[in-house]
Structures are given as structure tokens and as C-alpha cells.
């Protein structure tokens, strides 16, 4: 008997190891290595939208509280926790690279190009694709893939759906529910582990 067809194509998800491989593939001698590592880790560790990352300003970083403030869809503001690894990469970039890039501008954007201007969505997409290829990942990956991975890994780890909804900035929980369609192998493992009659 064939497996039932899942009607909607599920979002592409990377494993934690694949994401680590991407940042590890970034050559430290590359002049924008610290920036690119911070970008990739922020997309995954915070689940931030690429437009939110482009719009992120230094005044929205609250390192003492391990939080960042983003302006989401519909001008809805939300606070997001920033994990230790993302914070380290971001701090490293801010201390060692950003000030060199903004010498001739007064940009308040966190992530800037070689001429000190805010990075665009296309630029961030290209940065991610470049390092995915360098790490040996051949599947199609976009900044949204890292957001999908963020949500999926939280739910697989036992996070409540409402909590994930709040972090993602979804106004409707049905948007978040796409992530409850975990892969079949994981569903079977959860069933075997948690159901008394499995």
C-alpha cells in the first residue's frame, strides 16, 4: 500500500549540522566573513525574516537582555531572543568589521555592504547561496529556508505552537501549523516514544 500523499509541499528544512557546516565553510580570511557568519546565524537562531534583517538597526540590539527588536509585517513590533552563538557572531562582526564598512556613511543599519549601505534581500540571498555551495549543499536554499528550519527545530524540540507563532510574528496560527507537518520518520519516532500502545 502506498504512503498517503501530503497535499501541500512542505517547506525545505536544513538540519542543525547542515547549518553549522554553512557557517564553518566561511573562510575567516575573507573580508566579510564575520558579517556573513552573523547573517546566517541570525536567520536561523532568531527565525527572523530577511526583510526584518535588512531593516535591523543598531538601536534594536539589546545585548544585556539577549534580545533584538524587529518590525514585522503590518508594522508589528516584536522582541526576539538571540542565542549565544548568534550573539557571539554578531558581536564579533560589530566590533571587528562593521565600523570599517560605515566609515563614509552614517548608516544605523546593522548589516551593510562594502560601501556602507544597508544590505538588500537579494544581497543576503546571494551571500547564503554562496556559502551553501561552499559547504556542499546542493538543494535550493533561501533565507526563508533558515526560518523554516528555526520553526521546525523548535517544534521538534517540544516547543508550544503558540510560542513558535509569537516568535515568527504570525498573526494567524494556521500559518504556523504548516510546521506541525513534520517528516514521516519523525512522526513515527514521536509516536513510538510517547504512545503506550506503539
Give pLDDT tens digits for 162-186: 888 989 988 888 878 777 765 555 6
Is residue 92 within 8 A of residue 38, CB to CB? The reply is yes
pTM of the model: 0.85
Residue listed under C-alpha cell 501541500:
8
The answer, yes or no, to whether residue 3 has pLDDT greater than 60, is no
Q: How far apart are the first and last CA of the chain?
A: 20
The pLDDT value given to residue 176: 81
The pLDDT value given to residue 190: 62
Active site residues: 49, 73, 144, 147, 170, 179
Residue 67: which pLDDT band, with cuts at 50, 70 and 90? very high
d(CA 112, CA 70): 17
The CATH label, of 3.30.110.70, 3.10.110.10, 3.90.870.10, 1.10.443.10, for the domain at 16-194 is 1.10.443.10
Per-residue pLDDT tens over the stretch 5-49: 544 566 688 999 999 999 999 999 999 999 999 999 999 999 999
Residue listed under C-alpha cell 512542505:
10
Sign of CA dihedral 91, 95, 96, 99: positive
Per-residue pLDDT tens over the stretch 93-104: 999 999 999 987
d(CA 93, CA 26): 14
Amino acid at each position: 500500500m502506498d504512503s498517503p500523499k501530503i497535499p501541500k509541499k512542505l517547506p525545505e528544512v536544513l538540519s542543525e549540522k547542515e547549518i553549522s557546516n554553512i557557517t564553518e565553510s566561511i573562510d575567516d580570511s575573507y573580508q566579510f566573513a564575520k558579517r556573513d557568519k552573523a547573517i546566517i546565524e541570525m536567520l536561523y537562531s532568531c527565525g527572523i525574516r530577511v526583510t526584518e534583517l535588512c531593516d535591523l538597526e543598531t538601536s534594536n540590539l539589546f545585548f544585556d537582555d539577549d534580545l533584538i527588536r524587529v518590525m514585522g509585517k503590518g508594522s508589528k513590533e516584536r522582541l526576539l531572543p538571540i542565542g549565544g552563538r548568534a550573539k557571539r557572531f554578531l558581536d564579533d562582526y560589530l566590533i571587528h568589521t562593521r565600523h570599517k564598512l560605515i566609515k563614509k556613511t552614517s548608516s544605523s543599519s546593522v548589516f551593510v555592504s562594502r560601501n556602507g549601505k544597508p544590505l538588500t534581500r537579494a544581497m543576503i540571498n546571494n551571500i547564503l547561496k554562496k556559502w551553501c555551495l561552499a559547504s556542499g549543499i546542493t538543494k535550493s536554499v533561501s533565507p526563508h529556508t533558515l526560518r523554516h528550519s528555526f520553526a521546525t527545530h523548535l517544534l521538534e524540540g517540544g516547543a508550544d505552537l503558540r510560542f513558535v507563532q509569537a516568535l515568527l510574528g504570525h498573526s494567524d496560527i494556521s500559518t504556523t501549523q504548516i510546521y506541525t507537518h513534520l517528516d514521516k520518520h519523525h512522526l513515527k519516532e514521536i509516536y513510538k516514544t510517547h504512545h503506550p500502545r506503539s
